[in-house]
Amino acid sequence: MVGKQASLSTTVVNLTVLLLLPTFSFACSCVPSERPCEYLRSDTVFVGKVVKTVPVKHPADKNSWTPGYSMQFAVDESLRGGVGKEVTVETGSGGGDCGTPLELGRKFLIFAYRNEKDGKLWTGMCSGNRPLTGDPRFDNVVNDYRRMITPGKANIFGRIGMIKPLWREDQLDGSRSIPLAGIVVHAKSATADLTTETRVDGTFDFAAIPNGKYTVVPRISSGTDYSHEYPENYEADVQDGQCRNVSFLVQPNTRIRGHVSSKVAVDLSNVMVLAIPVEVKNPGELSGKWSFLHDGDRFDLWPLPPGDYYVGVNINSSPSAERPFPPTYYPGVTSQHEASIVHVNEGEVKELELALPQLATARKVHFTATGLDGKPLRKIYVQLEDLRHPGDASSYVNVDLNARGEGTMTIYAGYSYHLHGSHWVRYGEDWCTKPVVVPAGSEPFEARFIVDHKEADCRIEEIDAKSR
């Protein structure tokens, strides 16, 4: 009977949360919690009535602030964190900042987190707060949390599933997750070393385990892997009834990795290696699977579907100041016709040595920039659209100009560009220039940026030069 009551209370709580959220809540995206005990990871849990709400300016950094509220509560009961009879909790203004200004005079179950910098308590739409109405059908949630808080014992749960990456045109997608049953899972802390197995649906539980900071590791087959980019995702510091969801998404260990070398002395820290399926004829800025270098000169392209790939640097984009190389294909050639196609089977790890034999040839653009008021600009933001990839303008520069509105920037020889200039005036108002067309060549180029309209944000268009 206790189990049914807890389930009913949880269902009512979830409905209550939906009813509580104001109409602007669509602008705030919360990571859903699977179990109520996840909210106990907050620093303070209490029942209290809002007795005062004051609009405030919350410091964001040294020279800026964001609007919000300080809410004062009269505390009926402190379930965790030991707050006194009155407590003040900060929140944002609501909407996109996930703030939750609560109605004066109403009673709530509040979950609040302590700011490490100033020690203040904060709460928001995603914190798990519940309105208390005096109706036992809703307010049993407080009894549920009283029962959950178990001194010295905590919980870890999760799910292990398998997906296989697929190409949807030039973008990676995944197949439907398949639960993995019978996977051994270890959870280890300074004082405990625990083992369990996943059920038929791929779920597992470590219930009523000693308080502590645990590292959770599954024992998966050698032909599979899971992302290790954020190790903290597989750690759980749980205390006194708290729980933590530690889940794993396993994929085939199909990967292309290796080493990048350069014959010229250049910083490689911003180099990005890319794999693009050979069937993609016109790769764009976001095509393929990419990897920044790590450990100085290593790359690791995973997960990948099995297949044939072009692998290289700048093979879907033009050179930039951070990556000043011409399109370079494995093993170290600048022509796709000379490139070696890399084939990888499912579960195979392919090791490559990718050489960058030369730098792209820099080309200077000297320009003047005139504002909508006819006066020389002193600053300009320029997006570089490589016309091999219309619509892509991921490379950009901010240029300080002299009193005559003059400045210089670097592009690269052999490529045609549209240069899109803009100048920020105030929030919601940019001055936008006509695109400057730069034909391929190697000689210095003279240009003029002329502002011809203003928008909330200057955006490029697929056929921008023709549409103006």
Cα dist from 346 to 224, 305, 448, whole Å? 10, 7, 53
The three-point CA angle 99-100-105 to 5° equals 150
Q: What is the pLDDT of residue 11?
A: 33
Query: Are both 10 and 142 inside the same structural domain?
Result: yes
Domain count, the chain: 4
Cα(39)–Cα(35) distance, rounded to whole angstroms?
8
Query: Are both 130 and 20 inside the same structural domain?
Result: yes
Cα(59)–Cα(307) distance, rounded to whole angstroms?
51
Q: What is the pLDDT of residue 23?
A: 34
Cα(276)–Cα(290) distance, rounded to whole angstroms?
9
Question: Looking at 226, 252, 278, which one is the last position of a domain?
Answer: 252
**Structure tokens, 203:** 């779920």
One-letter amino acid of 74: A
DSSP class of residue 233 equals G
Question: Looking at 123, 148, 173, which one is the last position of a domain?
Answer: 148
**Structure tokens, 24:** 């602007």
Query: Are both 273 and 230 inside the same structural domain?
Result: no
Q: Which of 302, 400, 292, 387 is nearest to 349 (CA)?
A: 302
**CATH number for the domain including 21?**
2.40.50.120
Query: Are both 287 and 245 inside the same structural domain?
Result: no
The three-point CA angle 17-19-23 to 5° equals 110
Query: Are both 205 and 282 inside the same structural domain?
Result: no
**Structure tokens, 346:** 């499912």
Cα(261)–Cα(1) distance, rounded to whole angstroms?
67
One-letter amino acid of 305: P
**CATH number for the domain including 298?**
2.60.40.10
Question: Looking at 318, 339, 356, which one is the last position of a domain?
Answer: 356
Cα(138)–Cα(10) distance, rounded to whole angstroms?
9
Query: Are both 14 and 140 inside the same structural domain?
Result: yes
Q: What is the pLDDT of residue 3?
A: 35
Query: Is the link from the previous residue into 165 a cis peptide, with omega within 30 of 0?
Result: no
Q: What is the pLDDT of residue 17?
A: 35
Query: Are both 7 and 137 inside the same structural domain?
Result: yes
Query: Are both 347 and 401 inside the same structural domain?
Result: no
Q: Which of 325, 460, 468 is nearest to 390 (CA)?
A: 460
Cα(315)–Cα(273) distance, rounded to whole angstroms?
9
Cα dist from 364 to 409, 433, 449, 450, whole Å? 6, 20, 15, 19
| Domain coverage including residue 232 | 153-252
Query: Are both 133 and 42 inside the same structural domain?
Result: yes
Query: Are both 268 and 197 inside the same structural domain?
Result: no
What are the average pLDDT values for consecutive 10-residue runs of the chain, which has 468 residues?
A: 33 34 53 92 96 94 88 97 95 89 96 93 95 86 95 98 95 93 98 98 98 98 94 97 98 97 89 96 89 94 98 92 93 96 97 95 96 95 88 86 96 93 91 94 95 88 44
The answer to whether the CB of 211 falls within 8 A of the CB of 232 is: no
Q: What is the pLDDT of residue 461?
A: 58
Q: What is the pLDDT of residue 79?
A: 96
- 10 Å CB burial of residue 195 (0-12, 13-18, 19+) is exposed
Give the pairing type, strands 255-262 and 165-168: unpaired
Query: Are both 49 and 85 inside the same structural domain?
Result: yes
Q: What is the pLDDT of residue 457?
A: 85
Query: Are both 18 and 103 inside the same structural domain?
Result: yes
**CATH number for the domain including 389?**
2.60.40.1120
- CA 196 remoteness from chain centre: 31
Residue 158 backbone phi and psi in degrees, to 5: 180, -170
**Structure tokens, 296:** 């100085």
What is this structure's pTM? Answer: 0.79
